[in-house]
Structure 1
Amino acid sequence: MILSAGENGTIKSGEGIYVVNTEATVEARENYDYHFVNWTNAKGEIISSSNPYTFIVKSETAIQANFAPSIYQVNVFAATYNGTILPKKNEYAYGTEVEVEAVADSGYHLAKWANAQGDSLSDDNPYRFVVKGPMTVQAYFAGNSHSVRLSAGENGTIKSGGGICPYGSETTIEAAADTGYHFAKWTNAKGDSVSANNPYRFVVKEDTELWAHFTIGGYQVSVIAENGRIKSGGGMYAYNTEAEIEVVADPGYHFVKWTDGKGGNLSVDNPYRFVVKSDTTVQAHFAAGKYLVILSASNNGKLKSGTGGAMYMFDDEITVEAVADSGYRLAKWTDANGDSLSADNPYTFVVKSDMQVWARFAVGRYRVSLFAQNGRIKSGEGEYAYNTEAEAGAVADDDSCRFVKWVNAAGDSLSAANPYRFAVKEDVEMTAIFEKEGKGDTGNGTFPVGEARAYYAEDVLHLAGLEGFVVSVNTIDGRQILQFKADDAEHPAALPAGIYILNAASGKERYITKLVIRK
């Protein structure tokens, strides 16, 4: 473990020799007037902002501690010449909470605080923020009176409201519909829906232009959106017509669901379509949009992008890729509860909530063990990498035997092909079954099973040399009729006339034969 410190700091502890897969903790110490920022790898990639930082050692590792100045220049000034800023100080230590206040000239008020690019920061006064680096904060002032201009579309008029209003005052506007029509909604200068209320009350904070819209008689659909805005829909609808409403979330939020006027759930679709039967109130609900996603890897592998947690916006798409250690492979991705998410690698998913994603690894090679009854294995036994193809082949002991099928360790039929090709995904044990010509069709008499013997007579299966074996009897199409452990020499078995396959297994010792029962 090789540690280094950038300028303005030193390594406190952690450098040395570590055994692979053991835990290491490293710590850095900053110089006076500086603070620790992060650790980076040899490529300059950020791996952690924790100090101390604890991780699992997988290979020879070189990391560097980075530091930054603790005193920053903060420029706060009035962007327009209609007020002043308090206090005048412009240097602050890293992490300091700063409070600035704008004092407007007579006839003006603070409109907003903005950064150097003019992007809005807040309209609070005083405004508090934490210093993380050099920054610029500008105060914008506006006049204390604003114009409210009202217009009416066809089939109605403006009844009251509008004109010059003081900043921050509440004003009420009202429209009147012509005979045979009713008020539908107010829209702004861009055509965006503002409200379906009439009269409509709002607080004046800027010059405002509103249009009143009217429609022929019907039912009122009122749409409410807090932390978002109405994109389309709402207003009056004829009975039994389809309404479509859609909302857009404010920055930092995402749409969750629609509810009715009583809070009952309606839908999670956006846009949302429904048939209008009466006056209807529909409310859009939104939630904060940032979630914590933690990426982790179990033993025997790592993540290509590194592990750790980060904040993501709702609906962000994330792609992660796992790299298995030598002799291992990615088995699957799971959540924090161990439930499977995917076996894809790379794995792409969409952020919907706080979540933890684990890469799980498994042994990459599996054993194929082959046996033969009345024959011998020709090829196919050995170790295979996961998901590679194996070909199992077997030959008879002599010309009096013919190949019947391959069965697994439980005696279940696998294939009648010889050779038999299959993909290796786990340890495999198979037996090739050969049958002697003319043997097995012995009616109710005895039949050979290697060194053991068995015969069926008068609804009883008689066994010899099979004590402790698990015995199963299957129909020729693989349906199991009996399964039991042979503790006694006789076992009641009322078998109908037909052809059966008898399997007897104990450990790696296995006997299989065909039994023909005639009544």
Structure 2
Amino acid sequence: MKWTDAEGDSLSGKNPYRFVVKGDVELLAHFALSSYEVSLSAENGRIKSGRGVYPYNTEVKAEAEANAGYHFVKWTDAQGDSVSGNNPYRFAVKEETAVNAYFAINDYRVSLSAADNGTVASGGSTYAHGAKATATATADEGYHFLKWTSASGGALSEANPYTFVVTGNMAVQAHFAVNSYRVKLSAQNGRIKAGDGVYAYDTEAEAEAGEAADGYHFAMWGNEAGQQVSFANPYRFVVREDMKLTAWFVRDNSSGGYKVSLSAGSNGAIKSGDGVYLPGSEVKIEAGAYAGYHFVKWTRADGSLFSAANPHTFIVTEETALRAEFEKEPLTGFETLLGVEEAGVYYAEGALHLVNLEGYFISVGTIRGERVLQFTADGAEYPAVLPAGVYILTAAKWKERYAVMKFAVKK
């Protein structure tokens, strides 16, 4: 703004303008259009256009663009008050203006489904952009999880549970496949004709025993546990797990039965199973170990392994002689010994079990030195109730024989 005279010469840029009058005066006031700055800002996005300095009443076009995973919500002024929900936003400049573009994070829907033979346990919901979602599927009986696919059928993952980052609306489907099981057939004193193989879950299989060895005939099918399964041949059944079946053949003219002869060494005894049985009968044999020993295995007359199970069930198809084998229990502590061979101690079933310590004066104390027992051993066992912990046993017999052993009592 300025003042000029009649000839257009500048007189002053001040307003008000003070001067001394000395004659007639003609003054002209001159004005210019004002300009204002428009400041634009954005979080989680960027300004595309609109920043700058504009003359008064000029129309400005402010436009913003959201970052990935966000969307435009509104424009706000310097005080945070809403100005407009339009983008781009057009307005006339009449003063210094500061406007902020406000963006919000996107929410996406994750939809889960399951194809036949299974269910979806978790995962379907609404998630913010960048959040992690976990999808879990459960297969029906006889089936197993195979993979996750997208709505278009594209493979996503074979992991279950499947954790992924959500970046858009998603439809995820779980797929399942039928289990396959092995049916393994064997024969005693005969051969298998058909049925051995791999079967899909719930498929009907047919096991057929073939020709018997000379002097034998088919008796039954038995399972891996030695139990009778079927007397039919062929035997039809539905496969729902891995199976091992044995075709048992028995001697001709064996109606009088078979003898099962059981024996045990000096460190154990036979509890049950010895006797005469009809061909094809289930027999349960059991042996018991003496104190300080444990059962190891059943062996045949030729020393070969028959079974490591005790008790053990099997099907009688011939005369059978078995022996129960035992081993000494390992000592639970250490020993420092003078004049005593293979001495030891362990605690089991509410009693101290003493090895080669008969006639010794026994003292038992805690690891801290507290004495809890004193007695003279007159056998292999001494009843005692000891809390869980570590103990020291001292054994003395005459001056020249002395033993110190540590043992543990477990809960």
Q: TM-score range by the shorter chain?
A: 0.3 to 0.5
Q: Which has the larger radius of gyration?
A: 2
The structure showing larger relative contact order (alpha-carbon pairs under 8 Å, at least 6 residues apart) is 2
What is the TM-score of this pair, normalised by structure 2?
A: 0.33
